[in-house]
A and B are shown apart, each in its own frame.
Chain A
Amino acid sequence: MTNPVSRREFLNLLGAYGGTSAVLRAGAALGFMPSSSQAAEISLRANNGKKVAILGTGISALTTAWELTKAGYDCTLLEASHRPGGRMFTVRAGTVIDEIGNYQRCEWDDDPHLYFNAGAARIPSIHSSVLKYCKELEVELQVFVNESKTAWVQDDALNGGKPVRNTDYSSSMQGFVSEMLAKSLGNSEVNSSLTESESETLLGMLRSFGDLNEDMLYKGSVRAGYGSGGFLDHGTKKDVIALRDLLKTRLARNVMVTTQEGTGSGPLLMQPVGGMDRIIYAFANRLGNRIKFRAPVTEVMVKDDGVEVAYEQNGVTELLKADYCFNCIPSHLMSGIPNNFPTEYTEALNYIRRGKAYKAAFQAKERFWEKENIYGGITWVNAPIQQIWYPPHNIHGKKGVVLAAYNFGGANYTEMSQEDRIEDLLKHGEKVHPNYRQMAEKPMTIAWHRMNHMLGCAPRWARNRGGWSEKEEQMYETLRQPVNGRHYLIGDQSTQHSAWMESAIQSAHYALADLDQRVRSEPA
């Protein structure tokens, strides 16, 4: 390498100054997880009959209603949509996708395995509150396979557009990166700062990480699968993909990283058996007729001694008077609903933007991916569809639902017609699987920016990539304080880690703790 790591830089890496390793030296146990991994214990003071209005039926609202109902509060939930759950939405036979200007009804086979999690799909093992409710409400979970080395990487710029197995790509990339690092250890400056044992450990790891030969060079690896043989006969290695070729695609950033976002993602995740909305219905069925559907909130007035909420039902405006109100209506939609919130509160509500996201899925005639040795995981594609997911459940069954597009942050499908979206996903998918078009039955698509009563995906607070400004932090604090001690804004919008169910639930716990404290301090 022309510009090897200097001795000083290397010492930095070794942990002489700050960084995470400083924590290690301070003696903190690495085994501990961040505090968020412990689900909060909710013990509300039993309360007879205080009335609570809960606006929306996102997971934060359902959590709130469930905990308050258990403690004896009298809850009413108002939901604008025909269904509960907001961004936790599963599509299966008969489901309506209420996208504005693109109404769809799903006509897949009526089979419990054939579903599509159009919103949230994956539960990480440190999302303890989500897991806690799954346990409490007896929602059966199974493992979700987030990474498969046999899935594909496809980019028109790579390998003449022909797909490459994830493992071909990642083995070669790991090999070359290891080879380069091993060479830089030959640099005497760097080497002299390591003890012999450290140097051996590091080289040993690199050899194994990259599958390097004795000369610490990468000359291909059987990790990429065998060129021929492998079981009855000796296995031969496949051809190596040259580093220059690997660098023709930018998909490396997705292919090489399965753990992101504060360990929110990883090779092992979970999903409810039968669809993410099992969690929603586990709450909603228990709450029964406390939930009013197609009852959009039309006004929220905070009073001295409570909150008055107007809503519409069957064309008639009704008034709900409550002692407290918990509101998960998306902030940018709340801006279009008359209210008497303080100015700085409305300003903060107006400030939050929404990220775009879209997904698509179809019912596959046959589980064609299994014939390609794929049993789950993600294919990465450099196209608007970005990802193809294969169902990890019902292995060797007859049909399966393939997630045919998932773009988190992208807007491409938002402005496309249903026909164009379908053609786009088939066109790009068949570059990966030649029989894709023949296999695809009844594709369904969803652009969250056009979903009725949602209009977007992740709440976006920070305008700058660099992080939250002081003003943003202030506005966030404003929204976390209940208006007049009566109106609580909940949902992942009032957390600093949006687009996770865990965050939405924790926002509810935070608000409930505040309410409980107020109730306890009231004169008896």
Chain B
Amino acid sequence: MKKLLTATTLILSALCLPAVQAAEGDVGVEAAMDDRYCTTCHGVEGIGNMAVEAPRLAGMESWYLKRQLENFRAGIRGTHEQDTQGIAMRPMATKLSGESIEDIVAWVGSWEYVPAQATIEGDINQGRSAFQSCAACHGANAEGNEALGAPALAGQNDWYMVTQLKNFRAGFRGAHPEDTYGSQMLSMSKALGDDRAVINVVSYINTLVK
């Protein structure tokens, strides 16, 4: 596994000196050589960032994260032209080595689970009954089920789940022939009749936060 290069500081203490010939390299340090870029978009310790539509990674299961990074890298996810957010993510993953993915997964795994703040309000009762079919795979408390390949949903950013459910429903995600789990999700998502139903079910998931 790659290690973070320790910064070799080449800082010159130069204030009060008369006009110094400015040149690159006088200040600044070595750039990092690893692929630990996630926090720029996904927020400090992966808390998620709504302003750039990057979901929470803190608490995400390592097996799920690994699968998604590999799917992005292989173009199984993030290649449908309507999947705006997926398209934005994909180039970040295309060059990752297997080693880098392991490193990232371990790094992300070191962050504490932090449930995201709720930002949407739907009909929780309607959502609860719709959730019954989700619970079969994702667990009654949306805690996830590795054996079935279904990630935890509780604590994830609600705006992210809404986008993903809409994408599954429209076939923007999960339609790639090699996206085994995605295609299951694509067909399951059709059970949600419309955008309203999506909002409702996600509002219910918001109540399951541990």
Contacts and interface: CB of A to CB of B under 8 A. Distances in A.
Interface centre among B24, B29, B39 (most CB of A within 10 A): B24
A101 B20 contact: no
Contacts of B138: none
B96 to A, nearest CB: 8
Given A282-B22, A285-B20, A290-B15, A296 B39 contact: yes
Interface stretch (B40-48, B178-186, B201-209): B40-48
A415 interface: yes
Contacts of A275: 24
Interface string B110-137: 0000000000000000000000000000
A198 B108 CA distance: 74
B7 interface: yes
B92 interface: yes
Contact of B91 (A92, A294, A314, A414): A414
Interface in B3-20: 4, 6-7, 9, 11-15, 17, 19-20
Contact of A289 (B13, B22, B50, B95): B13
Contacts of A286: 14-15, 17, 20
Contact of A96 (B7, B31, B39, B96): B31
A122 interface: no
Nearest to A93: B24
A100 B32 CA distance: 11
Contacts of B52: 332-333, 335-336, 455
Contacts of A103: 31, 33
Nearest to B28: A83
B54 interface: yes
Contacts of B87: 415
Interface residues of B, number: 48
State the majority secondary structure of interface residues on B. Answer: loop
A491 to B, nearest CB: 15
B50 A285 contact: no
Contact of B26 (A284, A338, A450): A284
Given A336-B44, A349-B51, A314 B6 contact: yes
A73 to B, nearest CB: 12
Nearest to B16: A286
A299 B47 CA distance: 12
A363 interface: no
Interface in A312-349: 313-315, 331-333, 335-338, 349
Contacts of A278: 22
Interface string A153-173: 000000000000000000000
A277 interface: yes
A213 to B, nearest CB: 53
A98 B92 CA distance: 12
Given A293-B9, A336-B42, A336-B44, A102 B23 contact: no
Contacts of A69: 15
Interface of A: 69, 82-84, 90, 92, 94-96, 98, 100-103, 137-139, 275, 277-282, 284-291, 293-294, 296, 298-299, 313-315, 331-333, 335-338, 349-350, 352, 414-417, 449-450, 452-453, 455
Given A100-B37, A278-B22, A294-B29, 13 more contacts: A95-B24, A100-B92, A101-B37, A103-B31, A286-B17, A286-B20, A291-B27, A296-B39, A299-B44, A332-B49, A337-B44, A415-B88, A417-B94
